[in-house]
Amino acid sequence: MLTIKTFTFNPYQENTYLLYNEFGNAIIIDPGMYGDQEELELLAFIESNNLKPKFLLNTHCHIDHVLGNSFVNEKFGLLPQFHEGELPILIAVQNYAPQMGFRYEISPIGETFLNEGDSISLDNDELKIILAPGHSPAHVCFHSFAQKFLIGGDVLFRNSIGRTDLPGGNHQQLLDSIKEKLYSLPDDTIVYPGHGPSTTIGFEKNSNPFIRG
């Protein structure tokens, strides 16, 4: 069974997720640490709980979700896994980060890419890959059918949706992803978004002002 630890990092207040099981094995999703203090916060939690990170996953590759990729690679030897369609987005970060005043350690590029329907297995636990583009060209979400949760990145927020005014964004595509891919999940599925508080599929279907179920 997976336990979910949420960290909120960097000037964008991005949610970094650490998922870990009873065996002490862990998955790091969207590491957004910026600066020594935030890196140490993540590291201290991992060390104090004797966790062993086995996977580094990115829902997508905007700057606030990949700032910590290099640190995780350096400390744990993990290469990031994301959809291949996000490669141009990741490569662009190293060009615009200095213009935005960010100190950015260039993320390594993984040897394995994620595709719709793939699974990430951590001992007895499984996360299914859902391709949900629109906020970015090849955004993915990670769904636990057994535990009824979704690590949703920047697709669906509590009473809101992801931005589509960034490079690679497409508003109609985002709405289609939410309606077809996310709203088809059980209503009691908990959504852990890339920013802000968690929500549920059922709550958003009934009250989200941008797209109702």
Amino acid identity, position 67: L
Contact 99, 82 (CB under 8 A): no
Q: Which DSSP state fits 7?
A: E
Lowest mean pLDDT among 57-61, 102-106, 133-137, 165-169: 165-169
Residue 60 three-state SS: coil
So what's the pLDDT on residue 113? 98
Percentage of the chain modeled with pLDDT above 90: 97
Mean pLDDT, residues 177-194: 98
Give the torsion through C-alpha atoms of 94, 56, 128, 178, to 10 deg: -30
Q: Which tens digit of pLDDT belongs to each residue from 101-110? A: 999 999 999 9
So what's the pLDDT on residue 95? 92
The answer, yes or no, to whether residue 168 has pLDDT greater than 90, is: no
Please give the residue that has the higher pLDDT: either 144 or 166: 144
Q: Which tens digit of pLDDT belongs to each residue from 44-55? A: 999 999 999 999
Amino acid identity, position 119: S
The answer, yes or no, to whether residue 85 has pLDDT greater than 90, is: yes
So what's the pLDDT on residue 33? 98
So what's the pLDDT on residue 212? 87
Mean pLDDT, residues 176-187: 98
How many other C-beta atoms are found inside a 10 Å radius of the C-beta of residue 107? 26
Q: Give me the chain's average pLDDT, please.
A: 97
Q: d(Cα 136, Cα 85) in Å, to the nearest integer?
A: 9
CA 8 from centre of chain: 12
Per-residue pLDDT band at 167 (split at 50, 70, 90): confident
Contact 84, 21 (CB under 8 A): no
So what's the pLDDT on residue 38? 98
| Nearest alpha carbon to residue 115 among 92, 84, 151, 76 | 84
Mean pLDDT, residues 35-59: 98
Per-residue pLDDT band at 115 (split at 50, 70, 90): very high
So what's the pLDDT on residue 30? 99
So what's the pLDDT on residue 213? 82
Distant-in-sequence contacts of 201-209, Cβ < 8 A, 24+ apart: 201/150, 203/158, 204/156, 204/158, 204/159, 207/159, 208/156, 208/159, 208/160, 208/161, 209/159
What angle is formed at CA 212 by the lines to CA 146 and CA 29, rounded to 5 degrees?
40
Q: d(Cα 47, Cα 59) in Å, to the nearest integer?
A: 25
Per-residue pLDDT band at 138 (split at 50, 70, 90): very high
